[in-house]
Structure 1
Amino acid sequence: MNLIEFLQSRHGAARTTDLKRAGFTERSLSEATRSGAIERVQRGVYVTKGADPDVVAAFRANGRLTCISAARFYGFWTLHDPDILHLTCGNGLPNPAVVNHALALHPRHPYLPVVGVADVVMHALRCLPELESLVMVQSAIALALLTPDYLRSRLTGNRNGKARSILDLVLPRADSLLEVLAHTHFVRAGLRVRMHVQLPGVGEVDCLIDDCLVIELDGGTHLEGKQVKKDQYRNNASIRGGHLVLRYYYADVVHNPERMVSEVLAVLANREAGRFGPSRLQSK
């Protein structure tokens, strides 16, 4: 692997110490800098063209990415891209251009200027709005990188009460951020919710409310032709089995949850009132 390839493998930036540890000499770095192949952005940090701007910014600040700014490096779900950089710099100096988090206490990323998984999640739980931090911690748990019990053991005291309450919303299993968000909204509406329920003739459904209403949560792949047909047949099978069905998409769950919950409540109220029509036996 040559110098450029090595830098690209590290999102385009690396410290001199890491480069030398990989076998690159001062001479090779100087030659690459003179040729314009790489640039020394500050003492001890080299970058190549197309370097990740957040990684470069972390190096420049002598800090480490954390919270929502670090989520993508571990494959965590997020609801929004960060509009400001979240770092832990450890110098205590105010910087209006970044959110400067507390010191990192756990093993960091092996080569990027990114704090460790536990610090990323705990900083998010203390910093972000409830649902945004929930999807991050849920994905960390889904990836088997952390457990709720471990986080609770680290989030003690009154100041971490909000963080612990978010952990109470974590599901034993969630295959997408839509599932954990929908579950939270439905439970808070007072509904009886079961996730990943097996129905005869249908298979596993995402969500079953009050044992009568199937909720399916569809991502982008469900818009493909073959998948649409498969989903419609599943709807038919659910209805044949005596269950009503509603389907919701990313925009519904993330951007219009109140409308989604209102529709679910309306369907349940109509069912309770018998507005789907009397049975043929009753009409005789």
Structure 2
Amino acid sequence: MDVTQFLRTRHGVATTKSLYAAGLSRRALANGVKNGDISRLHRGVYFTRDADPDVVAAFRADGKLTCVSAARFYGLWTLHDVKDLHLSCSTGLARRRIVHHGQCVHPRHPYLPVAGVADVLLHALRCRPELEALVLVQSAVSQALLSPGFLRSKLPGNRNGRLRATLDLVLPRADSLLEVLAHAHFARAGLRVRMHAEVPGVGEVDCLIEDVLIVELDGGTHFEAKQVKKDHYRNNAGLRGGLVSLHYYYADVVYHPQRMVEEVFAVLRNREAGLFGPFRYIAGPPPS
């Protein structure tokens, strides 16, 4: 493997220490610079022309990517794109378009200038709005990178009460970002919600609210004809069992959660008022 190939396995940037450890020589580095294949960022760091700009910026600032800027390196969900770079810098000096975070105290990424996942999540909990931090934590928990209990142990005292309340919304299992957000919105509204509930005749549903209302959160696969047909049959089965179903999509959960919650309450009120009840007794289909 030549120097350029190795650097690309490191997002295009690496220290001389790691380059030498990979068996590359001083001459290989010098030739790479001479040929224009690589450049020297500063003493002890080399990069390619197509290097990851965030990783380059972290090396240049002598810092570690953290919070939302580190999410992609651990495969964590993010709710919104964030333009500013989030770094934990040794100097702590303010820099344009850089959000500085506190010291990293847990093991870092093995070879990139990226904070360890524990520091990434603790920084996010303190920095980002509740739901943005929640989806980061949930995706880490779902990958078994750490537990909510571990994070809770790092957030003692009254001043961290709000952050611990966010951890209370982490689910034992979440298959998508939408499930995390929907559960949070319903729970914060005071609704009793069970996720991944088994409903007789229907199977597993995304949410069962107050044990009477099914809420399904539909992703891209739900537009496929086969899946649409399956969903319709599941809705029929739910209705036969006395359960009403609602379906919501990404835009509903992410951009219009209040409207979604209000609609759920409206359906529950209508059900309580008996508007979905039969107007007469129907014994069954006539004999053939």
How high is the TM-score relative to the length of structure 2?
A: 0.94
**Alpha-carbon offset, residue 246 of structure 1:** 0.6
CA–CA distance in structure 2, aligned partners of residues 118 and 257 of structure 1: 29
8 Å CA contact 1:90–1:102 kept in 2: the answer is no
Partner of 2:80: 80
Structure 2 counterparts to residues 1-284 of structure 1, below 5 A: 1-281=1-281
Q: Deviations over 1:153-189 (max 9, x none)?
A: 1111233222111111111221111111111111122
Indicate how the Cα distance of structure 1 residues 96 and 49 shifts in structure 2: closer, same or farther if over 3 A, else same.
Answer: closer
**Alpha-carbon offset, residue 251 of structure 1:** 0.9
Which amino acid letter does the alignment assign opposite residue 39 of structure 1?
S
Indicate how the Cα distance of structure 1 residues 5 and 225 shifts in structure 2: closer, same or farther if over 3 A, else same.
Answer: farther
CA–CA distance in structure 2, aligned partners of residues 34 and 232 of structure 1: 65
Question: Gapped runs of 5+ residues in structure 1?
Answer: none
**Alpha-carbon offset, residue 277 of structure 1:** 4.6
Give the total of aligned pairs: 283
RMSD: 1.6
Indicate how the Cα distance of structure 1 residues 198 and 110 shifts in structure 2: closer, same or farther if over 3 A, else same.
Answer: same
Question: Gapped runs of 5+ residues in structure 2?
Answer: 284-288
Which amino acid letter does the alignment assign opposite residue 251 of structure 2?
A
Q: Deviations over 1:191-213 (max 9, x none)?
A: 11111111122111010011111
Moved over 4 A (4+): none
CA–CA distance in structure 1, aligned partners of residues 274 and 63 of structure 2: 62
Which amino acid letter does the alignment assign opposite residue 128 of structure 1?
R
CA–CA distance in structure 2, aligned partners of residues 281 and 17 of structure 1: 81
8 Å CA contact 1:108–1:116 kept in 2: the answer is yes
8 Å CA contact 1:85–1:98 kept in 2: the answer is yes
CA–CA distance in structure 1, aligned partners of residues 181 and 73 of structure 2: 22
Identical columns (%): 66
**Deviates further, 261-270 or 156-165:** 156-165
CA–CA distance in structure 2, aligned partners of residues 275 and 66 of structure 1: 52
How high is the TM-score relative to the length of structure 1?
A: 0.95
